[in-house]
Each structure stands twice: as structure tokens, then as C-alpha cells.
Amino acid sequence: MILHLYSPRACPGCGAENRDGSFCPGCAPEPLRSEGRCSRCFGKLESYTCGFCDERNVLFDRHISTFGLNAECKRVLQNWKFENERNSYQWFRPYLEHRLAELLSEEDIIQETGYLIYVGSGRSARNIRNYQPVADMGRQLATDQLPLKRMLQKKGKGKQSGFGRHDRFFQVKDSIQLTVEYRPAFYYVLLEDVFTTGATALEASRILKRESQARVFVLSLFMAD
């Protein structure tokens, strides 16, 4: 009771207090739908064309996301990554599990050797929190058939958030490296908390494709269109 008085949990939408900080039924965001989106990058199509894929050398084989980044989801992301609310993402977990199963089934790779992977945080993130949000999420999604590995690591060149969308592509170049956990596989599912410019996913895919011909899929919890 005392803990609740000093640290009340509330719905990210309306602010009403509740037991676990999850959404009220009327405030819950709707998952993203694939209709009207690019089959490769999951970006919104304009006149049946994809600006993201047309303007870039897209190195991953497919990206799929779960929720858009509206005001409520931004609040969850902020609390999760910067306010030490480590379990803020739990309400979204079943949707992410469904999205992963959907990806593996549609690509017909369930029986192949694969890994769920993520990019380890740089020094700047470790100064903010003593956990890595995407690693927590990955541990709950991993299975015996799809084990979790930190195969990639940021080199600590600084936070991308300090750069504009255009500059991030140049800032992230050569900022990611393989770790000792790297293992060859038929495919990788790169897990991301939020897909914004796609710079991290593209650079991670470039590093992985340089090592092998493995297929690289990107799964993100949030996507900023």
C-alpha cells in the first residue's frame, strides 16, 4: 500500500490508476495492419510505391512491426527506456509474440536454424539504466528453436537521438560490430524496440550479410511512420 501511494501505476492513455500500468480497454492502441504497407520494409505506401525502399539500398529481407508510435505508445517507450519502468512493455508482449509467429510462418522458416538477435547498447545507454529493454523483451520471446543472442554491439559513438532523420544514416555507419556470440545461421530475426529511420536495422543487416548469405528479418515493437 505504501509503495502504491508513492509510486502509483496508471494507464498510459487516460492516466487512471490501476494495478500494473497497462492500458484501459478504451485507451488501448490498435496493432498495425499490413494493408497499405510495403511487404519488405512495412512502411506506408504512397500511390502503390514505397519511398523508403526506393531511396535506400535495403539490406534486410523483411521488416514487420507491431504498433505505431502514437502519443500513448511514445509515453510507454519513454518510461520503459528512460524512466526505469522496466516492465512497461508487458501489455504489448502477446501482440509481439503473435507478430513473430506470423513472420516465421509466412516465411516458412520455422524448421530452419535461426537466432533471435539484438544490438547491445553503447556506453551512453548504460549510464541511463542498468538493463537493456530490447534484451528483456528478447528473453521472453526466445524459444529452444529460436534462441536469443547478443550478436551485435554498438561501438559507443553516441546516441542517435541527437541527430536528425537524414543524419542518422551517416552517423550509424560503422557504429556496430559483431560480438563473440555471433553464430552462422540460415536466418536471423533482429529485434528492435522502435523502428524510426531504419538506420540501425540497415547497418546491422549489412554487418550480418557481410559474414554470410543468411536471411535477415527485423521485428520491432513500435514503428514511427
Q: What is the pLDDT of residues 30-87, one digit of tens each?
A: 999 999 999 999 999 998 899 999 998 999 999 999 999 999 899 899 989 888 888 8
Does 8 score more than 70 pLDDT? no
125 phi-psi bin (left φ>0, alpha ψ -120 to 50, beta other): alpha
Q: Which residues pair with 194 in a beta bridge?
A: 222
pLDDT at 152: 96
Distance (Å) of CA 171 to CA 35, 149, 158, 209, 224? 32, 25, 9, 20, 19
Q: What is d(CA 45, CA 51) in angstroms, rounded to the nearest whole number? A: 7
pLDDT at 5: 45
Phi, psi of 189 (to 5 degrees): -110, 105
Mean pLDDT over 111-138 rounds to 87
Among residues 46, 25, 27, the alpha carbon closest in space to that of 36 is found at 46
Burial of 77 (0-12, 13-18, 19+ CB in 10 A): buried
Among residues 148, 152, 194, the alpha carbon closest in space to that of 175 is found at 152
The alpha helices in the chain, defined as continuous H runs, are 2-6, 51-55, 71-82, 93-106, 123-126, 133-141, 165-171, 199-211
Could you give the percent of the chain with pLDDT greater than 90? 64
Residues 6+ apart with CB under 8 A from 116: 138, 141, 142, 146, 147, 148, 149, 188, 189, 191
Does 128 score more than 50 pLDDT? yes
pTM value surpassing 0.85: yes
Q: pLDDT tens-digit profile of 168-206?
A: 555 677 889 999 999 999 999 999 999 999 999 999 999
Mean pLDDT over 216-220 rounds to 98
pLDDT at 155: 86
Q: What is d(CA 161, CA 184) in angstroms, rounded to the nearest whole number? A: 31
Looking at per-residue confidence, does 82 or 126 come out higher? 82
pLDDT at 157: 54
Domain ranges of the chain: 31-223
Looking at per-residue confidence, does 128 or 82 come out higher? 82
Which band of pLDDT confidence, cut at 50, 70 and 90, is reported for residue 4? Answer: very low
pLDDT at 198: 93
